[in-house]
């Protein structure tokens, strides 16, 4: 099918607009947290895989960290186990942790690897347990309970927080032109497994790799102000002010905190973008306006 002149001009405009960004980011590392609708819609899944392969083809080094909460919930339901959440985090007993490892380290991880390879990439699936990449410890959750003066400490099982990231294996894979795809499972001092929030893993990995960008795919447009307008081009100081005045609150706080922390610790920019848009990663990376919220260092 041939393009008419208007379509051809639009294609040419997109390509010429992308060129300076391709040159700017060539040789740089971009960490992408992949989750939400982008992981379940077939069209979006294939589009994401093509975006990742295109990035690698033009000289950018993508590193993918993925979630998989809905898929974990589906399998737990199939085996008759009810999902329980406390403070937004899945309670992960030993049996649930087995399911988490099967789903994240197996089904979901290998599905993403297969999609990328089908598009011509060379993806390698890993979890944070491989080569002791992600050292973790138990996450202790506290909450204020009416009638109790001190915060209540709650044990939510095998839910962890990152202690240390050893990125040497990632560096080797990137150097050999592979695309790492990482499940957010960490390993403790005794070899025990921990389920870790994928945003947090992506942020810590971006810091360790000294990444150019951290991109968090979400099911929302980005960060909005109190009138519903999309905010972007924010400095770390401006984000701190938005948290202080209550513009950023609730469920958005952990994601923003992850992006903010990465920027403060050396990642040049962090992006919160709408993964429900086809080719969202390409639109954010290679167009002048982008599609989500960009947070940058203040210097």
| Token output for 253 | 């706080």
Is 186 a member of any domain? Answer: yes
Residue found under tokens 């974990």:
72
Query: Beta strands 213-218 and 193-195: pairing type?
Result: unpaired
Helix (H) or strand (E) holding 100: helix 94-100
Is 59 a member of any domain? Answer: yes
Q: Is pLDDT of 3 > 60?
A: no
* Tens of pLDDT, residues 138-152: 998 776 666 555 566
Is 13 a member of any domain? Answer: no
Is 193 a member of any domain? Answer: yes
Does 153 or 102 have the greater pLDDT score?
Answer: 102
**Between the ranges 182-191, 216-225, 267-276, where is the mean pLDDT highest?**
182-191
* Counted domains in the chain: 1
Q: Is pLDDT of 199 > 80?
A: yes
Q: Listing from the earlier edge strand, what are the strands of the sheet with 61-66?
A: 123-127, 179-183, 61-66, 29-34, 213-218, 269-274, 293-296, 234-235
Is 195 a member of any domain? Answer: yes
pTM: 0.90
* b/e 86-115 (16+ beta carbons within 10 angstroms → b): eeebbbbeeebbebbbebbbeebbebbbeb
* Tens of pLDDT, residues 59-109: 999 999 999 988 998 999 999 988 888 877 888 889 999 999 999 999 999
Residue found under tokens 């000289």:
59
pLDDT at 147: 59
> Domain range for residue 35?
27-296
CA atoms within 13 A on the CB side of 59: 10
pLDDT at 106: 92
Is 19 a member of any domain? Answer: no
pLDDT at 226: 79
Q: Which of the residue ranges 126-135, 145-154, 165-174 would you say has the lowest mean pLDDT?
A: 145-154
Is 11 a member of any domain? Answer: no
φ, ψ dihedrals at 279, nearest 5°: 60, 35
* b/e 160-190 (16+ beta carbons within 10 angstroms → b): bbbeebebebbeebbeeebbbbbbbbbbbee
CATH code of 85's domain: 3.40.1160.10
Is 10 a member of any domain? Answer: no
**Stretch 223-228: mean pLDDT:** 79
* Tens of pLDDT, residues 237-270: 888 888 888 888 777 778 888 888 999 999 999 9
pLDDT at 10: 67
């Amino acid at each position: 099918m041939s393009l008419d002149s208007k379509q051809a001009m639009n294609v040419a405009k997109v390509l010429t607009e992308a060129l300076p960004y391709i040159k700017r980011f060539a040789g740089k590392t971009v960490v992408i947290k992949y989750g939400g609708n982008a992981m379940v819609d077939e069209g979006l899944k294939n589009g994401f895989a093509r975006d990742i392969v295109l990035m690698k083809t033009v000289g950018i080094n993508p590193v993918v960290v993925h979630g998989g909460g809905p898929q974990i919930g589906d399998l737990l339901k199939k085996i008759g186990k009810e999902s329980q959440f406390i403070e937004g985090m899945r309670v992960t007993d030993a049996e649930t942790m087995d399911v988490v490892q099967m789903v994240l380290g197996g089904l979901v991880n290998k599905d993403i690897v297969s999609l990328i390879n089908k598009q011509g990439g060379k993806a390698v699936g890993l979890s944070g347990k491989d080569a002791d990449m992600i050292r973790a410890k138990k996450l202790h959750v506290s909450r204020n309970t009416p009638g109790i003066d001190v915060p209540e400490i709650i044990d939510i099982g095998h839910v962890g927080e990152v202690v240390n990231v050893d990125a040497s294996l990632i560096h080797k894979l990137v150097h050999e032109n592979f695309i790492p795809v990482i499940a957010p499972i960490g390993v403790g001092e005794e070899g025990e497994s921990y389920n870790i929030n994928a945003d947090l893993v992506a942020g810590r990995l971006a810091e360790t790799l000294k990444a150019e960008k951290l991109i968090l795919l979400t099911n929302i447009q980005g960060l909005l102000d109190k009138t519903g307008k999309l905010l972007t081009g924010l400095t770390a100081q401006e984000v701190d002010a938005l948290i202080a005045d209550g513009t950023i609150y609730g469920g958005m706080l952990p994601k923003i905190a992850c992006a903010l922390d990465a920027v403060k610790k050396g990642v040049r920019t962090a992006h919160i973008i709408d993964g429900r848009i086809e080719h969202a990663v390409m639109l954010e990376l290679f167009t002048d306006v982008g599609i989500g919220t960009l947070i940058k260092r203040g210097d």
